[in-house]
A and B are shown apart, each in its own frame.
Chain A
């Protein structure tokens, strides 16, 4: 028991809160407003689809969809786009389990697809998402919404909607926690475990 308390204290010493649970909710609401403003989903000519990238992009997309429906009265279809099979770093890591994708029944053809992810870092996940999306059809346009942009891009990719820009060092880790998966909301910055070792 004592050792667990110590571990807990050490945890808080090497991590800093970036977004509180309230901040997460407000940030999602702000992004929802921006998406409404920029895409005008209430016009029938603009079919908008939100696709979350697993793991935490999926519940994020769902929450964004709910907020957009609250604010604009238009229900925007949401789905999940797993990018594992399209990654370029499969050989550098142990085998990854696949997550099922679910794209709204109308498909992505001619729709405006907003990809949703928790953290934008190297941009490689988004590249694989663009490839995965191409196999689903031909969207009219693709945009990107992220809760946190932490920099260090390795590809010419940028987000259209950013919850919070956070300058980070490569040895740090941005951990997004969402109620649906982790039991609570929040974003923390911590030194990565590799550096600890």
Chain B
């Protein structure tokens, strides 16, 4: 693997191998007092976050540190970006300073892809940690890891992704990866929050959450991304919550084994009720825990083996 830019470019074999590695790493570290492996000793990993993030940045940092890589965090405020340096120059600077891998989150869709083009000849590898409304591949991997664990496998499972699809990179990455791994995906959202072309992703699209509930193995709730909304997409928060929120009544209509996922941060009372988020059906904390192992697996696949000449 040269870079990890999107879930769409992952084949079934590569994705499964990443998930297997994550699973082995998880079991390797389970119950250990010292959670540190020497595998990436001497490798330098830089995180460049141009958007706020808690779990993704922390998760990558922990993943790198547990593998003994040196992890350095760069944020856009407080770096030369605030003086007007371009993304390209910042990236080339960080690469010249010795980064083996750059993990980037950026508000512009396609930023990680552009970056990988600029950095290709330097040998620095790029991981997309979320680019605008495009993709967030490690989130899709950690969701798949969690579902695989809870459901025993993804082949033939029916999974709904519910909510703000329009602004969601998580939804897009998940549709690609879940379908690659053999699951059926149904997208549920009010028509105003369905992106153009969503019907070409290979998933069903519907506006009726209640009709879908009894046939689902998992429901993935998305956060309503108010910061990306420049217009009125639904009449009110209350109305949204009534039609698309996961509440106790809806939880009761799901099959017993069904899992409720949320990529976080959660807006309790909006897309997910507090009682649901804290119920045994919800796997929110497991998602975060698996996130570390999945990112360790990604760093292992990118950085541990022999250097791949592009």
Contacts and interface: CB of A to CB of B under 8 A. Distances in A.
A139 B39 CA distance: 22
Contacts of A96: 304-305
Given A101-B28, A131-B38, A90 B21 contact: no
A101 B34 CA distance: 16
B20 interface: yes
B79 interface: no
Contacts of A86: 37-39
A96 B305 CA distance: 7
A51 to B, nearest CB: 14
A106 to B, nearest CB: 13
A96 B20 CA distance: 12
B interface majority secondary structure: loop
B34 A135 contact: yes
Nearest to B42: A91
Interface of A is mostly: loop
A92 B304 CA distance: 9
B17 A85 contact: no
Interface in A86-143: 86, 90-101, 131, 135
Given A95-B301, A101-B28, A90 B20 contact: no
A135 B304 CA distance: 20
Given A99-B24, A101-B28, A94 B37 contact: no
Which interface class (under 10, 10 to 19, 20 to 34, 35 or more) fits A? 10 to 19
**Chain B interface size, under 10 / 10 to 19 / 20 to 34 / 35 or more:** 20 to 34
B24 A93 contact: no
B306 interface: yes
Interface string A62-105: 00000000000000000000100110001111111111110000
Contacts of B34: 135
A96 B21 CA distance: 10
Given A86-B39, A96-B305, A100-B28, 20 more contacts: A82-B28, A85-B37, A86-B38, A90-B39, A91-B304, A91-B307, A93-B306, A95-B1, A95-B300, A95-B301, A95-B305, A95-B306, A98-B20, A98-B24, A98-B25, A98-B28, A99-B24, A131-B38, A135-B32, A135-B37
A139 B1 CA distance: 38
Contacts of A91: 304-307
Contacts of A92: 306
B148 interface: no
A97 B17 contact: yes
Interface in B7-62: 17, 20-21, 24-25, 27-28, 32, 34, 36-39
